[in-house]
Amino acid sequence: KTLYKLAKQGVIDINKLNRNQIQNYKYISMNNARLENLKEILFKNEFEKLLWIPFSKPYYITNSIFDKNTNASKILIFSSWEMVPKMIAGMIYYEAERLTVGKLYNSEKEKSGKGYFIEEDKRKFLRPRLIGPRSKTLTLASKTLADMFNPLDYIGENIKDIRVELETKVSKKLNEIKTKYGIGESPIGDVSWYINAPLIWDGEILDVNHRDMPIDTAKVITNMIIGSPAVCAMRIFNDKNMAEKLGELFVSLFNKPESIAAVDLFYERRSERTYYKNVLAYLVDGNIQAVLDEYAHSLGVKGEDLIEQISEGMNLRTSTLDIDTYESFVGKQKKSGLRAHFAVGYYNAKGDNDNIQRTENIRAAFNSPFRPFVLATTSIGQEGLDFHLNCRKIVHWNLPSNPIDLEQREGRINRFKCLAIRQNIAKKYGDIKFKQDIWEEMFDEASKQEKGENSDLVPYWSLANINEETIKIERIVPMYPMSKDQVKYNRLIKVLSLYRLTLGQPRQEELLNSLGSNFDNEDNIDDLFINLSPFKHSNENNKSFV
């Protein structure tokens, strides 16, 4: 009560979030070194503009920010304190939104009533744009368009060259329509031709209107061929209903304010009416066919089960976290709500149906290539849940009390065909000649080259031949200078290595380092081991050790 009175009188300054700063998307200091470090890890190479984690194996080269973020990863964070996941979810998402939506918001002249906190009677900033006919460029499941592009024929080529070739094919087919029906071409033509032309080729339209085609019809349809989610889905499912459903999921994705901002910042912002053209270009630059094919392979299911799991992965609703601001603390406002979607918290252990459903939604969404990109959790996330499909970075916000918990935490992302494994497989075997399914064929080749006398864990769980260039699972332990965490960490790693030895588990490098620091003759260390690992490392003398 005393603090409340002094703050209200202005005698003392309470270090709380300022609602007015948030409303206007102003920079807010994290006031925490660990949080600042996390922000630095995340927001580089324009990562905030990405709506999905880039592909492990691209079909073609775009030189866009997707290519600049090659081998990117989601981040899994463990903390012993329940308040930490909430704090990370709110602050990191605010920063992501500030760098995208906030950047556009502060460039607008008319901002009144359209800030971060939306009043019920005010119009929302960045309203949905893919409405009516504009959305059909993403939902048209055309077999003709799907058959005009086989990604395997263009592996490693530049997207500019691919577009030129496809535009030539499309222009030839459009000229046939123009000749047959006497159609002209003009700068401001009937945009329904983007949809009607493919429908004519599919045999679904017999009577056509005779209005002019837009001059960019071939260009737009070319982007639909390469990047329309419905067309990409036709190559995966060969089923129109499922393809259209996937297209509708992407319409919902690109109608979100953060998606609109990302696309507008990705390219020079144009009219709301032509937003769908930028969306198609974004899908092409994002190699969405490669992303979907890798996602489908990772899930390991097909048909209706596949579209259902993709839907679950893309449908995580944005949650709201109640926060105290200075205004609510001194009684001027009610508590405000901070959104969480780019980063989410996973901490509620209640067993009610709503919480169980949200828990499963979060798991499915984090395992998808799409947002959230950060998952912060307490100990409830360290057992029995897999978060490995698109994550190879794990942050120990604070260290657990025993090595078993450390092993359990890291076991969430060290799984079958995890992201690190797929990125290495793509890096080593991405240049082979493909016939039909690139991921099945890359893993088959890796098995031939690496398995040898090793167990079946290679190459699906572990790789036998590693070097400095191997992409690895990253353990991140942020520590303050002269912190007791350094001593605690060293003890944990030492005990962890002995714990692994008793179970005969792989990854014994920590044990070798521990023993090596206490033995004068390191050549005799390997005599202490019984080799129970799934594969062997060989030293320069061809001497095997765990």
Render pLDDT for 292-330 as a digit per residue (tens, 0 to 9): 999 999 999 999 999 999 999 999 888 888 887 766 766
CA-closest candidate to residue 34, choices 483, 345, 390: 483
Token pair listed for 446: 């890796």
What's the confidence (pLDDT) of residue 218?
98
- Range in 17-31, 64-78, 178-192, 337-351 the model is least confident about: 337-351
Helices (H), 228-302: 229-237, 240-254, 257-266, 275-285, 288-299
What's the confidence (pLDDT) of residue 107?
84
Q: What is the pLDDT of residues 140-156, one digit of tens each?
A: 999 999 999 999 999 99
What's the confidence (pLDDT) of residue 188?
86
Token pair listed for 205: 């339209």
The tokens 């692994």 sit on which residue? 500
- Range in 204-208, 300-304, 478-482 the model is least confident about: 204-208
pLDDT band per the 50, 70, 90 thresholds, residue 542: very low
φ and ψ at 477, to 5 degrees?
A: -125, 95
| pLDDT (mean) for 435-456 | 92
Cα–Cα distance list, 495 to 396, 401, 455 (Å): 17, 11, 27
Answer yes or no: are the C-beta atoms of 286 and 51 closer than 8 Å: yes
What's the confidence (pLDDT) of residue 509?
56
| pLDDT (mean) for 231-255 | 97
What's the confidence (pLDDT) of residue 295?
98
CA-closest candidate to residue 318, choices 346, 354, 342: 342
φ and ψ at 134, to 5 degrees?
A: -60, -30
What's the confidence (pLDDT) of residue 512?
55
Token pair listed for 503: 């179970």
What is d(CA 196, CA 215) in angstroms, rounded to the nearest whole number?
15
The overall average pLDDT reported for the chain is: 86
Residues 6+ apart with CB under 8 A from 168: none
What's the confidence (pLDDT) of residue 203?
93
Q: Which pTM value belongs to this model?
A: 0.89
Highest mean pLDDT among 229-238, 348-357, 376-385, 515-524: 229-238
pLDDT band per the 50, 70, 90 thresholds, residue 507: low
Q: What is the pLDDT of residues 42-99, one digit of tens each?
A: 999 999 999 999 999 999 999 999 999 999 999 999 998 888 999 999 999 999 999 9
What's the confidence (pLDDT) of residue 541?
42
What's the confidence (pLDDT) of residue 456?
86
pLDDT band per the 50, 70, 90 thresholds, residue 528: low
CA-closest candidate to residue 371, choices 460, 254, 537, 222: 254
Highest mean pLDDT among 186-195, 203-212, 347-356: 186-195
Model confidence at 516: pLDDT above 80: no
pLDDT band per the 50, 70, 90 thresholds, residue 208: confident
What's the confidence (pLDDT) of residue 501?
61
Model confidence at 525: pLDDT above 90: no
What's the confidence (pLDDT) of residue 529?
57
CA-closest candidate to residue 460, choices 481, 446, 477: 446
What's the confidence (pLDDT) of residue 500?
64
